[in-house]
Structure 1
Amino acid sequence: MRMDVLTDLLHRARASTALVRQLIQRPPWSVTYADAPPLTVLTTLGGHASIRLDGSGAEPVHLAAGDIALVTGGGRHTIADDPGTERQFTIRGGRKYLANGQPAAGHPNLAPRTYGDGLPGATTMLRAAYELHGDVGDRLLALLPPLAVVPAGPRTSAALDLLAAEVSRDEPGQDAVLTRVLDLVLVLALRAWCAESAMPPAWYRALSDPAVGEALRLLHTDPARRWTVAGLGTEIGLSRAAFAARFTALVGEPPLTYLTGWRMTLAADLLRDTEKTVAAVAGEVGYADAFAFSVAFKRARGASPSAWRRSLPR
């Protein structure tokens, strides 16, 4: 199966929805998330809100209706109706606490996955917490800053309208529906941020170049193939020298350096998730020689494959 880079990262990271909640609350309100997952998707379905990364020193960011915020790295953050609203509640370990640290009663349950007061003038917020897998998940998160905001737009609004219509329903298969709609929102938000950001990932910019974009797709479609710079150039119709120069200029590193980094990412997840031998992992990521693979892996991760595997938490 042929894959572009973003599709491959999302597929291999196996993003899964850990939590989906809707809050419909009249101002003033404020909620702090003390131990967020690696990736949180927040969107304002109605009204407006603000989001602040606590302890970062950055100013709060305003969220208008239809805006989508992506929070990475598991950082403590606060959402509120207004930046000046005092902290009211903190969510820690899945439990709700008052500002003084005492346990608090939960918000009234208005509908499945929906909490708050539901009164006129309320803000409607939706929060989805994603767990991403392994080194590929880390590579996906590295695309984003700690807080990325995607302004409302026609391409995301349709998905958000569908999400708003589905989130409070309680019908057979509802979790599957929500998971797929949220995945759609996440992909659209990632794509929009990469396209509009002043500092998108180099490889994302490179995808718009027909030759280099095709080379990246080839490397992700078959990373274990015994690629050479000349062979890649031939596949896309460029000379070896012209292809190498073009790829390096657009992606920021030579083709085989990029390939090695991607292979080491895949190898790390194979070592983490399977009981395959080092030799089997080496073969799966394109190394006929386990010794050469071990040398490359140690250079990338600071430990041999066997030692790195033993160091993982059990």
Structure 2
Amino acid sequence: MDPLSDVLALLNVEGALSARLEVGGTWAIRFPGYRHVRIGAVLSGSAWLAVDGVDTPVHLREGDCYLLADGLPYRLSSDREGEPVDARTVFTSTAACIVRHGGGDPDTVLIGGKVTFDDHNSGLLLDSLPPIVLVRGTSDLAHVLRSALEMLAYETASPRPASALMTGYLAHILFVQALRAHLGSLDAPSRGGWLSALADPQVGASLALMHEDVTRRWTVAELAAAVNMSRSSFAERFKTLVGLAPVDYLLQRRMQTAGQALRAGDRTVSAIAAESGYASDSAFSNAFKRVMGYPPSQYRKGAVRSD
């Protein structure tokens, strides 16, 4: 499994479309903070997007898609000046629906939704995303999004059987495609973060090797040789981009996978220890507690109580 697929599987990604927003005239809506990721796209017309803490608003046009990943309040509007209304007074239902706002006939149509993850592991992806990921509808990277947007326009235009299920899947697809487009745009992965590391030819290749089998006991020297780097140069570049030493990253990923299995609750600790490559329960328990903060049995009980 490639690293991005592996991590998304670990995160238990869930997508849900909140609403189709049809607006006209002069309008402005302020949205509260959120959990994990908000996703949106302009099906027709245009709008301004402003996120708290980000200096420059973004002018969205037809076909543009965006991800918001800092959890901060934001605003959508027809211009940059109007006084916004609270989104909670506009969106009065939690179900996916058509919402009309503003004056006159609608001249802009947007769709918006949310993407949530397993809180235990969400930092791996969220910490590497900028506050706004913007995929322009006119960019070369956007062609893969167009079919999803066309389907969303169709599904949200009027109530249809199983529409919540369909739009949830499409929101998930939109999220993954936007991540792909963002990853493809990282041609100078120097600022760090897991996604930037994936975009680096050599560090990304080493991550692919580790994610193929997290139970393998790679050494730094083996990984460096596999990607044609010296041991010291590889170790330094990996830690700069990923934020962890290679062996520490592999151990963390191995324990996160074990934690997911523990939360599922259908296998014994001994079985999970063996699957994780440990010959004894005690060695596995010590490693798990060092990374995850709790012994496996206590971690499983806490996960059950929090579900």
- TM-score (ref. length: structure 2): 0.77
Equivalent of 1:189 in 175, 178, 189: 178
Return the offset for 1:76: 2.6
Return the offset for 1:243: 6.1
The equivalent residue for 1:87 is 84
Return the offset for 1:144: 0.9
Residue-by-residue CA offset, 1:1-57 (whole Å, 9 max, x unaligned):
xx2111222233222223331101113222233252321101122222222334x36
Q: Say yes or no: does 1:268 pair with 2:263.
A: no
Gaps in structure 2 of 5+ consecutive residues: none
Q: What root-mean-square deviation, in Å, do the aligned CA atoms of Structure 1 and Structure 2 show?
A: 3.5
Relative to its length, the structure with more helix (as a share) is 2
Gaps in structure 1 of 5+ consecutive residues: 98-103
The equivalent residue for 1:249 is 237
The equivalent residue for 1:132 is 117
* AA aligned opposite 1:78: R
Secondary structure, counterpart of 2:29 in structure 1? strand
User: Does the 8 A contact of 1:212 with 1:247 survive in 2?
Assistant: no
Return the offset for 1:179: 3.3
**Count of aligned pairs:** 294
Distance 1:18 1:185, change over 3 A: closer
Q: Say yes or no: does 1:297 pair with 2:292.
A: no
User: Does the 8 A contact of 1:39 with 1:72 survive in 2?
Assistant: yes
Equivalent of 1:7 in 1, 5, 8: 5
Equivalent of 1:31 in 10, 29, 32: 29
Q: How does 1:1-314 map to 2 (within 5 A)?
A: 3-54=1-52, 56=53, 58-91=55-88, 96=89, 113-116=97-100, 119-120=104-105, 122-152=107-137, 153-157=139-143, 158-159=146-147, 160-197=149-186, 203-207=194-198, 212-229=203-220, 236=226, 242=230, 245-246=233-234, 248-250=236-238, 252=240, 253-274=244-265, 276-312=267-303, 313-314=305-306
Return the offset for 1:186: 1.4
Secondary structure, counterpart of 1:24 in structure 2? strand
Equivalents in 2 of 1:207, 1:223: separation in Å?
16
* AA aligned opposite 2:168: T
Secondary structure, counterpart of 2:167 in structure 1? helix
- TM-score (ref. length: structure 1): 0.76
Secondary structure, counterpart of 1:136 in structure 2? coil
* AA aligned opposite 1:68: C
User: Does the 8 A contact of 1:248 with 1:255 survive in 2?
Assistant: no
Identity of aligned residues (%): 30
User: Does the 8 A contact of 1:36 with 1:76 survive in 2?
Assistant: yes
